[in-house]
Copies of this chain bind each other. A is one copy, B any other.
Amino acid sequence: MGTFELLAQEAGARRGRLHLAHGAVETPAFMPVGTQGTVKALTPDEVRQVGAQVLLGNTYHLALRPGAARIAALGGLHRFMGWDGGILTDSGGFQVFSLDHLVRVTDEGATFRSHLDGSEQRFTPESVMTIQRQLGSDIAMAFDQPVGWPATDAVARAAMDRTHAWARRCLESEPAPGQLRFGIVQGGFDAALRRESAQALAALPFDGFGIGGLSVGEPKALTYALLSAQAAAMPVDRPRYLMGVGTPADFVEAIARGVDLFDCVLPTRIARNGSILTRGGRLNLRNRQFLDDAGPPEESCDCYTCARFTRAYLRHLFMAGEILGHRLASIHNLRMLVRLVDQIRDAIGTGRFSALIGALRQEWAMAPLP
């Protein structure tokens, strides 16, 4: 494949470098979510400033609005949104199969109703790859069928088999120049099935693999157990992306289980409601205790927000319903996660990783899970 360098390993964790058309990405890497062609409330310059290397774009949302052909005509997603770093586009599988208005799914593809106007739409492995070629993302994800929690073995196996068949069809589509293609492993909530899916996809010439269908309602201990089982069955020479699983503690546990990439809407979503992530836990700045707090949102943080504004000011912005509050909290939350992952990455392969992760688990009062 040649696009991924594995630089170091320590206690299950990996440090690497993934070469994309828009630059190299040091892994493990946290990818902020830019669903509709913008990381919510932020400019691309601010996203760059917090240290993000790759963003997530959303095939389902962008295909429906403004349309992938339109974005192609406007120069592709990078140019459209003014972001010159890496972009990974998901395949829309998760969105389509989460919709209230999924009309039907066959081996051919999925028919659903747009959440925007109720119009009938159809995604197939081929159409989803075409959309991602038009968007011009650095990494295109294969079309997959996740299952909800709980799922019977039969349902999980059928969806997995279909996901594998779709994966093969996705590989027959022409990618955009320099575009990598990742398969998505599924397998429901059974470790053996998860391993089987990992092995089946490993036989295909994907540039990397998504781990899909986790953190959809199953107990956290099971998520981690499945992740461990599945990662162990995945090829070491290709990057692994845990899809949409998302607290800081989840990231740490995923890294400890050999994950290289992850995304999460949490930092920007909770920012809207006035919550910030800190190393000591989550703070809701709307709380009265911050009314007169002249300190920065997080003492040790180097972000724009913490350098310039007080907790009292952020609280005021949230109570007054001012957009600037959402912006400033988003900047902080993204920077907090990027720094956390930077610190972990630096530790991997230096003999410091185990001590660091132990300290983090203790800090968050987390027992080490399987």
Contact = CB atoms under 8 A, between A and B. Distances in A.
Contacts of A42: 324
Interface string A136-154: 0000000000000000000
Query: Which 4 A-B pairs have CB atoms at the shortest separation, nearest pair first?
Result: A41-B323, A36-B320, A66-B316, A38-B324
Given A313-B37, A313-B81, A324-B43, A70 B319 contact: no
A17 interface: no
A74 interface: yes
Contacts of A107: none
B65 A316 contact: yes
Interface in A29-50: 36-38, 40-44
B36 A308 contact: no
A292 B74 contact: yes
Contacts of A37: 313, 316-317, 320
A291 interface: yes
A41 B75 CA distance: 28
Contacts of A38: 317, 322, 324
A319 B65 contact: yes
A312 interface: yes
Given A317-B38, A322-B40, A66 B291 contact: yes
Nearest to A321: B36
Given A41-B327, A65-B319, 5 more contacts: A36-B322, A38-B322, A65-B316, A70-B312, A82-B309
B74 A310 contact: yes
A36 B322 CA distance: 8
A80 interface: yes
Contact of A294 (B74, B315, B324): B74
Nearest to A324: B38
Contact of A313 (B61, B65, B80): B80
11 contacts: A36-B316, A37-B316, A40-B324, A42-B324, A43-B324, A65-B319, A65-B320, A66-B316, A70-B292, A74-B292, A82-B313
A326 interface: yes
A73 interface: yes
Contacts of A308: 43-44, 82
Contact of A66 (B40, B44, B309, B319): B319
Contacts of A36: 316-317, 320, 322
Contacts of A75: 294
A327 B331 CA distance: 15
Nearest to A41: B323
A39 B64 CA distance: 33
Contacts of A80: 310, 312-313, 316
Interface in A62-87: 65-66, 70, 73-75, 80-82
A92 to B, nearest CB: 16
Nearest to A39: B324
